[in-house]
Amino acid sequence: MCTDVERPAARIVAGMVTFVSTPVDDPLAHEMLSAYFAERDATFPRAGAYRTVFPDPPRFLNPNGDFVIGYDDDTEIGLACGGIRLLEAESSEVGPLMRFEIKHLWVHQDARGRGLGRALLTELESRAAGLGGRVVVLDTNESLQAAGGLYRSSGYTGVAPYNDNPNATHWFRKRL
């Protein structure tokens, strides 16, 4: 697989991407996460206030979670990444529901606007369900309007803050 995250892909459509489980400390995963964090820092509403925290590798490995890279099937270029990690079980009227958090959903700027973010989100939800998850949560910042729109149109509803992430202004939940 090509590891050049800066090289734009010629053809990108959600149906032409393969998602591959990858350790978060893999060189390409680290490169993509670095690009994600750099972009967030550069566009964060409060200059210099963005807090970068690289994922803890064991939290994104089966059975605790998963991290994926989406590769263009034609060029084998990495276009997107994101992960899930197990949080505690959430209580419900039918008993505990395993709760996963979606983290670091990122699509290369040259691949945006073509459905890849939605395909990645769906893939992460599917992987959470495959690990026994019945609920997924995520947080985002109001400055990421496209992300907020994606989450709402994918069935996520706003909830009270479930963590103390200083980068977040909105928290969402979806039952799988």
Is 118 inside a domain boundary?
Answer: yes
- Measure the CA–CA gap between 155 and 76, rounded to whole angstroms: 31
In the chain, the number of structural domains is: 1
Q: Find the mean pLDDT for residues 103-120.
A: 93
Cα end-to-end distance, the chain, whole Å: 32
What is the CATH classification number for the domain harbouring 124? 3.40.630.30
Is 19 inside a domain boundary?
Answer: yes
What's the number of CA atoms in the CB half-sphere (13 Å) around residue 137?
19
- Among the ranges given (86-90, 120-124, 171-175), the one the predictor scored with the smallest mean pLDDT: 86-90
- Measure the CA–CA gap between 107 and 14, rounded to whole angstroms: 11
Strands 133-140 and 98-107: parallel
Report pLDDT digits (tens) over 124-168: 999 999 999 999 999 888 877 888 889 999 999 999 999 887 878
Residue type, 154: S
